[in-house]
Amino acid sequence: MFGLTKKDSTLMLVVFGLVMLAPFLLNPFPEGSGMAQFNAGYPDLMQRFVIFGIFAVGFNLLFGLTGYLSFGHAAFLGIGSYAAIWSMKLVTLNVIPGILVAIVVAGAFALVVGFVSLRRSGIYFSILTLAFAQMMFAMAYSVLTPITGGETGLQIKNTDTPLFGGPVDGSIGRANLFGYEMGNSMELAVGNHLFTFNLGYYIAGFFLLLAFYLSIRIFRSPFGMMLRAVKSNQQRMNYTGLTPKRYTLSAFVISGMYAGLAGGLMVAMDTQVGPERMFWTASGEVVIMTILGGAGTLMGPVLGAGMIKYMENIISKINKDILHEWFAFLPDGLEDVIVSLVYPFIGKGWHLTMGILFMLVVIFLPGGLVEGGQRIAKLFRRNKTADTQDATSRTPAE
């Protein structure tokens, strides 16, 4: 199917199914129940899962295949966002041109940064990319305020008048796709369950499927083989008359464009940009997502992105009152003890939980979350292990 092998087609179908059914899968608990806190099937978070999934998949194309660890990838995401919001402010509120502009501009920046940074390898390369990204962040925050809005960032205002199809009644323009707004949702109530199908999410999901498909094709292509060759032995490549830099630069630009796509989608889903999305912690986050999920695997980065965004948005919202509700069935004294034991790990302590999770995963699942998935899969169908191994095509990270 679409030039994929049978195994890859299966994987692609699985991802397709996950994206399409996410509103059901992420909302397993009935509304109003104690567990509803863990539901993640609301538009904003679903969009974030998908967008950061794209970002991580693109990052993995560079890092997972070539082993080049860029520590400044968030800069391309930020650049893409700025490009997209300017396109919406000036040209049209339709998201498609915005996203395209984001990809192109981010790709152009990646070309420049990559061309310079790829003159070095290993940690020297990482620090060069970090330095470029930090410079872009610092400038967006301060001296470039007229273009970037400084700390406050940019939003669509009611004074913005895009060339095509801006609102005429003085209201604030909304991002749309040929008139259908990103915020449009359809709700389905089944018993106590409430499922939300959001247009913006499905548009982002479409791009994720596209990005994922491309990533499979690149993994399986001769170009992908070349990138792996860069990772395993650059010298030998040189001897055979190949120029590794051409391949790594292409990979760098492609992954920069993925980041730009993610940035453009972020603006499309929520029309605002702030410079902190270019800060080194944001670059570090995508590195962590990729490694957490399993660098060099196809599914890993998406899982890693989902995991981190889930922690950030769900765990951080649990507060003491909710804990008391959960444990209300216990006798009073015991309830307080349990609550005070759990309390440090939720709400404002979500970073602690995340730190512990990172350590546990890397200690017990050296291949990241993907390996965890494989182990579970093994348990279920011991006789068919070969299949699952291959479907996710794990190559060790470096």
Partner 1 sequence: MSKSNFTRRGVMKTGAAAGAALTLPTYLRADGHAGFTNAPGDSEVVLGFNVPQSGPYADEGADELRAYELAVEHINGGGDGGMLSTFSSKVLDGTGILGREVKYVTGDTQTKSDAARASARSMIEKDGAIMITGGSSSGVAVAVQALCQEAGIIFMAGLTHSNDTTGKDRKANGFRHFFNSYMTGAALAPVLAAQYGTDRKAYHLTADYNWGYTTQEAIQSSTEAMGWETVNTVLTPLTQTDFSSYIAPVLNSGADVLVLNHYGGNMINSLTNAVQFGLRDAQANGVNFEIVVPLYSELMARGAGPNIKGILGSQNWDWKLENELGAKYSGTNAFVQSFGTKYGFPPSQAAHTCYVQTLLYADAVTRAGSFAPCAIDEALSDFEFDGMGNGPTLYRGSDHQCFKDVLVVRGKENPENEFDLVEIVEVTPVEQVTYAPDHPQMGGAEASLGECNNGA
Partner 2 sequence: MDQIIVQILNGLDKGSAYALIALGLTIIFGTLGVVNFAHGALFMMGAFCAVITSKILSASHKIVDETRTDFLGNPLEVDTFYVQEWFGMAAGQTIMEWAVPIAILFAVPVMILVGFAMERGLIKHFYKRPHADQILVTFGLALVIGEIIKYTFGANPIQTPAPPAFTGSLDFGVFLGFEAQTIMYPYWRLVYFFFSAMIIAGVFAFLQFTTFGMVVRAGMADRETVGLLGIDIDKRFTFMFGLAAAVAGLAGVMYAPIVAPNYSMGLDFLVLSFVVVVVGGMGSLPGAVAAGFLLGILESFASMPVVIDVLPGINQIIIYLVAIVILLTRPRGLMGRKGVMEE
Binding site for partner 2 (CB under 8 A): 63, 67, 69, 116, 119-124, 126-128, 130-132, 134-135, 138-139, 141-143, 234, 280-281, 284, 287-288, 291-292, 295, 344, 349, 351-352, 354-359, 361-363, 366, 396-398
CB-side neighbour CA atoms (13 Å) of 164:
14
Among 5, 14, 21, 31, binds partner 1 (CB under 8 A): 31
| Residue appearing with tokens 């299949």 | 387
Give 218 or 322: the residue with its C-beta nearer to partner 1.
Answer: 322
Binds 247: which of partner 1, partner 2, none (CB < 5-8 Å by kind): none
Establish if 163 lies at the interface with partner 1 (CB under 8 A): no
Least distance CB 174 / partner 1 (angstroms): 7
Establish if 317 lies at the interface with partner 1 (CB under 8 A): yes
Binds 42: which of partner 2, partner 1, none (CB < 5-8 Å by kind): partner 1
Among 190, 363, 379, 386, binds partner 1 (CB under 8 A): 190
Binds 330: which of partner 1, partner 2, none (CB < 5-8 Å by kind): none
- 393: nearest Cα among 3, 8, 1, 6: 8
What residue spans of 91-181 are helical by DSSP H? Answer: 95-117, 122-141, 145-148
Beta strands in the chain (DSSP E): 154-155, 176-177, 180-181, 185-190, 193-198, 272-273
Q: How far apart are CA 370 and CA 322, in angstroms?
A: 32
Per-residue binding letters, 264-283, with partner 1 (x by CB under 8 A): ------xxx-x-xx------
Per-residue binding letters, 276-315, with partner 1 (x by CB under 8 A): xx----------------------------------xx--
Binds 357: which of partner 1, partner 2, none (CB < 5-8 Å by kind): partner 2
Binds 270: which of partner 1, partner 2, none (CB < 5-8 Å by kind): partner 1
User: 229: which residues sit within 8 A by CB, 6+ positions away?
Assistant: 236, 237, 242, 244
| Residue appearing with tokens 């205002």 | 157
State both tokens at 33.
């129940």
91-102 residues labelled b (16+ CB within 10 A) or e (exposed): bbbbbebbbbbb
- Going by DSSP bridges, is the β-strand pair 180-181/176-177 parallel, antiparallel, or unpaired? antiparallel
Per-residue binding letters, 90-129, with partner 1 (x by CB under 8 A): ----------------------------------------
| Residue appearing with tokens 């109530």 | 189
3-state secondary structure of 45: helix
Length of the chain: 398
3-state secondary structure of 393: coil
In this structure, are residues 297 and 393 in contact, taking their beta carbons and an 8 Å threshold? yes
Q: How far apart are CA 292 and CA 142, in angstroms?
A: 33
Query: Considering only residues 348-387, where is the footprint of partner 1 by CB under 8 A?
Result: 348, 350-351
Among 163, 164, 179, 189, binds partner 1 (CB under 8 A): 189
3-state secondary structure of 46: helix
Establish if 138 lies at the interface with partner 1 (CB under 8 A): yes
The residue ranges that bind partner 1 (CB under 8 A) are 30-32, 39, 42-45, 48, 138, 141-142, 150-153, 155, 158-159, 170-172, 174, 181, 183-192, 194, 196, 270-272, 274, 276-277, 312-313, 316-317, 319, 321, 347-348, 350-351
